[in-house]
Structure 1
Amino acid sequence: MTSADGMSTTQPAPGDATLHRPELRPLWQTIHSRLSSGRPATRVRLGPLDDTQREALADLLGLDRLPDPRPSIAVARLEEAVAELSGRSVREVVTEIVGPLGNRADERRRQEDERAALWTWLTEHDTVRAQPVLGDWVASCRTAGLAGGSAERTRTLLTDALRVLAELPGQAEPLPVFAARVLNGHAHALDDGTPVSTLVLRALATLYATVPPQSAAERRTLWSRAGVADDELSATVLVGGLRPSGDGLLARVATVCAEAGQAASLTLAHVRHPGEFALPATPVHIVENPSIVALALRRFGPHCPPLVCTSGWPNSAAIQLLRLLADHGATLRYHGDFDGEGIRIAAYVLDKTPAHPWRMTAADYRAAVVCNPYGPEPGRITGAPWDPELAEAMTEHDTAVVEELVADVLLEDLAGMEEPPLAACDGRLSSRRPNGRPERLRTFADDLQQR
């Protein structure tokens, strides 16, 4: 149709006046919601309707009386009435009046798939797989739910948290400097109370088997333990027999102590600023406990092979030194305690450095248990990524074997002697005193007292 001014106009569809009555708005909104559910709808319940709304509904459906204030309407009957009035379907009319139809069932399935994919991604992330104890952190993240209800937003936050965890231990930087370096210039991304900071601190508490920090002081302590906001002098690493060549400070300090048959305590400052530094082509062995270094120095003196000690959980000085040694061609081999925490420390070292396990297999553990069957319980056991059977063996025997109890075997390796059979142990290792204390422990303690 053309208007008087020559412009074309659109005629309203038949029945539009009836379908667009304001009194029918509750009907179309209810139908829109039901059709958007993604589930079949045969009847819809309205109400409560006032008298004018009931009259409009009666006119639409051709009823001879007013419907109830809360009527139940058959969708098929509504389809007939709408088709008769306009020649269109209920879906077409509802879309025109209310808006496009959705599909909440599909949306729910999509959201469920997104959540499942998120937690699968987090569980299988390289950082989590390398340190299985972080599986507990994953579980806590899942329990906490999605940030703002969004899987995408949660993945972004977790990606940043994992990036931070991969960079730890830090390099004695202030927290804002560390955050800016790791998180694309966002210096305040790890400030107290930020989502990423909360995620990282919860992961560190899981890693170190501590309760999540509650106060600002506890949070600072945890960051410091992870090498952030630390200083270059308080973080130190114990070494023995390390003889780098070169005229740099690190090489001179380590070599002087090695030639004297003494251990050296290197600071993070030594490691970060080593100066001229080179290494001979020799493996560097890493141990968890300083007592192993003490025994090695007692046995080998100035001829002690290169040793680095993490002194439990390695700090920034230890990790940075091991990376430095590896960068200069050293082959790193790690040994620690056979208990729950010892396995977690080993996983951490192997994840943060190019080190390889050294006598840390299930077979090594079983051989050690044969010789030392009366140890304490190992504590909470988590997986060992380098040997899946190790956690099973430790769970089966439920016995910890601290590193000192296998010191003889480790020292024989360091001496370059042929490795003894896995099940071999001498009388001193297996004998028992009348009071139940292993004779091996007494001998080890006496060894240290005689130094």
Structure 2
Amino acid sequence: MTDTGRLRRLLGGPDTAWLVQRVRRRLERGGALSGTVTLAGATPSQRRAVELLLGRRAAAGASLSVSLAEVDRVLRASGASPGGLAAAVEVLGGPVPDLVRERAETAAAWASAFDPLDEAVACRPELADWHERLGSSGLVRRLTSGPGEAAAMLRRLAAVVRALPASDVPLSRFAAETCGDAHALDDGRPLATLALSSARALVGLPFAADGGAENRRGTWAAVGVHLDELSSTVLCLGLPGDTTTATGRMLAAMRGEPVSLTLRQLRRRAAPMRAGLVRICENPVVLTEAADALGPSCPPLVCCNGRPSAAVWRLLELLADGSAEFAYHGDFDWGGVAIATAVRTRIGWRPWRYDAAAYREAASDTPLTGRPSPTAWDPALATAMSERGVRVEEEHVLSDLITDLGTATTHGAA
């Protein structure tokens, strides 16, 4: 039985506190109580305390070294602590936590918390880098109090990821359908921060936790989720108007000038829009130059303005319903390829100077970065981009595009 009074006299005073603390830290880390511990610059009273504990004079010198095995033997033999040094430390300072075990359990709990998200992205290579960064950045740990709270949030995030990209759905309804809470993805919510970062990854943007209001609105719109019917817009030029609808009358009145249509306007139009061949570009500068050069004679042109918003999709679908055909041009970079692929998958198009031949002819020395993607409409394009390693933006070939629009032809059309 431990002689608590004797133990405190031998090891419980202020001059041996450093020794007890060293032993305790070693036990917490799962270390063995062997070898020696050394105190640099020991005071005379600390030396005297160790001498009383061990029953012999300490070696001379500025530092003080103590054999843990000897301390253990003395405590057992004296009856102060029959259980030895480890037991003595617990008597003096309370139970010693097993930090190794606790860390292992915590790590296992965190790994388990990520399981639903791991499963959700297993077949989504486009989210692989985001998924890795999410785990390594510590963002989830900063946004939650621990693995328990994280597990609940990551289950919801997995449901969000599975549902993206969406198809023209309000944010509140999307949140209700995926998370069971219409406000789960409101700005400022931790889950909204994580969900928005996944949306950024889907549209090929760099990893980031958040951004300004305009950035958030644009990112959500790019994956088919809109905050409201007025913030989602589409730029167009040369679309024929009509006299039967408000939107048609506006298009007719603005013929020759770029027009910005809201999702609300397009949703209120039920009838298809008829326009024949519609050219699609990625950047607004094409519309600006076309309006300046061609005015009212410019053929129908729609701008994706980056990843298509809900309004862009709605306009393209109204045109497709009206039997329109589409010709597409975009930036020759991997982000542009991703946008082109999304549009082609949804409505179909033929290339408008957007193939390997056009890429090789375009002048540029801007380095191409990002993850390569296939170009199903012309597999040689992806090969050429990987080999040449430069990006070609629409601004580099504006004169060719405007010439095409002026002559109502498309080079490289299938």
TM-score by length of 1: 0.53
* 1:144-155 → structure 2 map (5 Å cutoff): 147=142, 152=147
* 1:10-409 → structure 2 map (5 Å cutoff): 13-21=1-9, 22-23=12-13, 24-40=16-32, 41-46=34-39, 54-64=47-57, 71-84=64-77, 85=79, 86-104=81-99, 125=121, 129-130=125-126, 135=130, 138=133, 142=137, 147=142, 152=147, 163=160, 166=164, 184-186=181-183, 189-191=186-188, 196-197=192-193, 200=196, 204=200, 219-226=212-219, 227=221, 231-232=229-230, 235-236=233-234, 267-273=262-268, 288=282, 310-319=304-313, 336-337=329-330, 339-340=332-333, 343-347=334-338, 355=346, 365-369=355-359, 372-377=360-365, 379-386=367-374, 393-400=384-391
Indicate conservation of the 8 Å contact 1:169/1:316, yes or no. Answer: yes
Is the partner of 1:355 in helix, strand or coil?
helix
Superposition deviation, residue 73 in structure 1: 1.3
Indicate conservation of the 8 Å contact 1:123/1:138, yes or no. Answer: no
Cα distance in 2 for residues equivalent to 1:442 and 1:148: 49
State the one-letter code of the partner of 2:230: E
- Name stretches of at least 5 consecutive residues in structure 1 with no aligned partner: 1-12, 243-247, 258-262, 295-303, 406-437
State the one-letter code of the partner of 1:449: G
Cα distance in 2 for residues equivalent to 1:333 and 1:127: 31
Is the partner of 1:44 in helix, strand or coil?
strand
Is the partner of 1:20 in helix, strand or coil?
helix
- Name stretches of at least 5 consecutive residues in structure 2 with no aligned partner: 253-257, 291-298, 409-414
Superposition deviation, residue 394 in structure 1: 0.9
Cα distance in 1 for residues equivalent to 2:169 and 2:337: 21
Cα distance in 2 for residues equivalent to 1:186 and 1:393: 46
Match of 1:445 among 394, 402, 407: 402
Is the partner of 1:222 in helix, strand or coil?
helix
Indicate conservation of the 8 Å contact 1:201/1:222, yes or no. Answer: no
Cα distance in 2 for residues equivalent to 1:38 and 1:264: 70
Cα distance in 2 for residues equivalent to 1:91 and 1:213: 46
- Range with bigger deviation, 153-162 or 30-39: 153-162
Residue equivalent to 1:429: none
Superposition deviation, residue 271 in structure 1: 4.5
State the one-letter code of the partner of 2:406: Q
Indicate conservation of the 8 Å contact 2:41/2:62, yes or no. Answer: yes
Cα distance in 2 for residues equivalent to 1:102 and 1:395: 55
Superposition deviation, residue 169 in structure 1: 9.1
Q: Cα distance 1:158–1:145, how it changes in 2: closer, same or farther (>3 A)?
A: closer
Cα distance in 2 for residues equivalent to 1:356 and 1:74: 79
Q: Cα distance 1:51–1:359, how it changes in 2: closer, same or farther (>3 A)?
A: farther
TM-score by length of 2: 0.57
Superposition deviation, residue 138 in structure 1: 3.4
Cα distance in 2 for residues equivalent to 1:376 and 1:149: 46
Superposition deviation, residue 83 in structure 1: 2.4
Q: Matched residues, percent identical?
A: 21
Cα distance in 1 for residues equivalent to 2:329 and 2:63: 74
Cα distance in 1 for residues equivalent to 2:387 and 2:339: 24
Cα distance in 1 for residues equivalent to 2:301 and 2:4: 88
